[in-house]
Amino acid sequence: MIIIDQGTSHSTQHAEVIAALLAARKSLKERQDLHLFSDSWCVLNEIDLWSGKWEHTDWKINGKAIWSKEAWKELHQIGRDIKIQVYHVDAHEKDESLQTKYNNEVDK
């Protein structure tokens, strides 16, 4: 899969959104619910709280378009077709849990 904005100067939060979107696309293709583990409070809050509000404000905050608007919109749309459950994990921890292990691996 090709990410069009790969290599540009986007933030790490943008990378977290793109990672969530790629996982959601895969789950949608396989018609499976998604259990997403992320250390990004932004991703968790968007999926659980903000996307409905953003949709009603035309994906703007105080009149300005939200960052990574197209990715957020697609993620929101996929969330209508499959269930997306987000679990927050602490970033860069040293415990031995699988969530921490995999989170640390993808953050490299």
* CATH code of residue 97: 3.30.420.10
Distance CA 78, CA 49 (A): 15
pLDDT in tens, 4-59: 445 455 677 888 888 899 999 999 999 999 998 888 888 888 887 788 888 889 98
Q: Tell me which H or E stretch contains 21.
A: helix 12-29
Q: How many domains does the chain have?
A: 1
Distances in Å between the Cα of 24 and the Cα atoms of 20, 32, 84 are: 6, 9, 8
Q: Tell me which H or E stretch contains 12.
A: helix 12-29
Residue 23 belongs to some domain of the structure: no
Domain containing 92 equals 32-106
Distance CA 108, CA 98 (A): 16
